Amino acid sequence: MSKRKRAAILISGRGSNMAALIDAARRYGFPAEISLVLSNRPDAGGLAFAAANGIATAIVDHKAFESRDAFDAAIGKILESTRIEIICLAGFMRVLTDPFVQKWNGRIINIHPSLLPEFKGLDTHARALAAGAKVHGCTVHFVVPELDAGPVILQAEVPVKEGDDEATLGKRVLTEEHRIYPLALKMLAEGKVRLEGDRVVKS
């Protein structure tokens, strides 16, 4: 098997998508290894899960920095020192600076709980319900400087059912997130998907 790509997961909370990626990377033949879990919050629940699974963790508290540039620079140093090749954002609640994103162009991906370009930003399930959407879902996309606007790698749809609330709809979407995010990382690590300009090329 060819050398596995070294991936880092950036989190701010419990990291359920992080756990799905870690579980997938354990499987024989998976082309990426989770080499680092980094959080901007010292109390992020996902850090304990990562550590319990033998994965290196790092905390870069955004409150300790005077600017976003300084915060991103600190993250960048850690990623470089651990020889990271791919970044996966998993509930990372910080907007990364344009220079950081451009440096990692084509090597940084995110999972978003809507069928982009619908419902960018926060509270996606509530907004889908308020809009009377019949179909909702999730998207894995390349990260670009504009928030939630990067080219789509994979999407998964779920039905919006009669009587759904945020919790029931969110649970259905989360199941699909846990399925497609590892698949997207696998495709990227294998070179079966890449970013060319502003479009995704699959092979």
Enumerate the β-bridge partners of residue 141: 110, 152
DSSP track, 129-156: HHTT-SEEEEEEEE--SSTT-SPEEEEE
Residue from 62, 112, 125, 136 carrying the catalytic annotation: 112
Going from the C-alpha of 6 to that of each of 87, 96, 196, the distances in angstroms are: 9, 20, 21
Q: What spatial distance separates the first Cα and last Cα of the chain, rounded to whole Å?
A: 19
pLDDT at 1 over 60: no
Does residue 185 lie within any of the structural domains? yes
Quick one: DSSP state of residue 28?
T
pLDDT of residue 55: 97
pLDDT of residue 150: 95
Does residue 202 lie within any of the structural domains? no
Does residue 104 lie within any of the structural domains? yes
pLDDT at 137 over 80: yes
Per-residue pLDDT tens digits for 55-95? 999 999 999 999 999 999 999 999 999 999 999 999 999 99
Q: Can you give the CATH number for the domain in which 185 is found?
A: 3.40.50.170
Q: What is the dihedral of CA 15, 19, 24, 26, to 10 degrees?
A: 130
Does residue 88 lie within any of the structural domains? yes
User: Nearest CA to 64 among 39, 85, 47?
Assistant: 39
Distance between CA atoms of 55 and 118, rounded to whole angstroms?
A: 35
Does residue 14 lie within any of the structural domains? yes
Number of domains the chain is built from: 1
pLDDT at 14 over 60: yes
Angle at 102 between CA 188 and CA 157, to 5 degrees: 45
Does residue 187 lie within any of the structural domains? yes
Q: Read off the pLDDT band of 2 (50, 70, 90).
A: low
Is residue 141 annotated as a catalytic residue, yes or no?
Answer: no
Quick one: DSSP state of residue 30?
-
pLDDT at 24 over 60: yes
Residue-number span of the structural domain to which 37 is assigned:
5-193
In sign, the C-alpha dihedral spanning 115, 199, 122, 139 is positive
Distance between CA atoms of 13 and 41, rounded to whole angstroms?
A: 8
